[in-house]
Chain A
Amino acid sequence: MGEVTMTVCVDTDTIVRDAADASIREVFSMMIGEAIDAIDEPSLGPVSTEAMTVLLGLTGEIQGSISVSLGEAAAIQWTKALIDHETTEVDQTVVDAVGELGNMVVGGAKRRMARNGLSMSLPTVFRAGHGSLVFPTHTTPVHIHYRFGHFVLTLVIAMRRA
């Protein structure tokens, strides 16, 4: 019997989405022992400006950015779960902890896309939610929402083939 070659094509969006999804679940599971669930877009309540986003850039055969947005209360809870840090407001430790969240999520996604020869930037944390992220033409962001305890966080993936 002749040799059969089969090529499976998976589009870039699926590759990146699956990698980022697997990574964020792994981070929450391994670092704070919590499972997070993907949810439909949360119903919009009063618009809150109290939010934080950590964003990292990726370059290589695929390029763009991946970011994680969460409310301040969620960021404080993440920090408490991670290192038992008690605070009622976003201090430098919370900022650093959110930075580490981004670092691990994007690092894990990058690891899962190793064949694409990716390099990762340092994390940038800013005090704004994912609604403040705007992207240039030809970049279509994908939003994935997760529930973490009583909180919601959003993964925003804006990547494309170089």
Chain B
Amino acid sequence: MKVLLVDDSGVMRKIIARALHALWIEDVIEAADGVEALAKFGDDVVFDLVLTDWNMPNMNGLELTTAIRAAGHKMPIIMVTTETEKGQVLKAIQAGINDYLVKPFDQETLMKKLEKALPNYQPG
């Protein structure tokens, strides 16, 4: 399984990557903003899941989600953020996210989100 992890915080990327590794997801590609994330897509690169922060420089998570969906990619996108204001959540859903992971989160919550987004995902 290949996951694209997008966050301008190196610390948060490390936190999430470690959590994914603990759930046996080893192939994690990282990007520091939406522009860098889009550059990771290619003809021979297929992501099973995108985890993205909301507030990032250059291209934020909302803009990234819009761009990913506009390009025709249908993989699940989970927004990882502290933002939970209803209007903002609605905007994110309309842009095309599949779910939200609110910071702070624990391993169990992340696993439940993965299981919901990826029905064929089997930890271990």
Contacts and interface: CB of A to CB of B under 8 A. Distances in A.
Interface of A: 26-27, 30-31, 33, 79, 82-85, 93, 96-97, 99-100, 103-104, 107-108, 110-111, 114, 117, 120, 122
Interface string B45-89: 000000000010000000000000000000000000011111000
B122 interface: no
19 contacts: A26-B104, A30-B106, A30-B109, A31-B104, A31-B106, A83-B11, A83-B14, A83-B18, A97-B11, A100-B15, A103-B82, A104-B82, A107-B83, A108-B104, A111-B82, A111-B84, A111-B102, A114-B86, A120-B82
A104 B84 contact: no
Nearest to B55: A122
B123 interface: no
A103 B104 CA distance: 10
B11 A82 contact: yes
B9 A114 contact: no
Interface residues of B, number: 19
DSSP majority for the A interface? helix
Contacts of B84: 111, 114
Nearest to B103: A104
A122 B54 CA distance: 13
B82 A107 contact: yes
A31 B82 contact: no
Contact of B82 (A30, A96, A110): A110
A103 to B, nearest CB: 6
A100 B11 contact: yes
B11 A114 contact: no
B104 A104 contact: yes
B9 A93 contact: no
Contacts of A111: 82, 84, 102
A60 to B, nearest CB: 10
Contacts of B15: 31, 82-83, 100
B82 A100 contact: no
A97 B10 CA distance: 9
B121 interface: no
Contacts of B106: 30-31, 33
Contacts of A99: 9, 11
B105 interface: yes
A26 B85 CA distance: 19
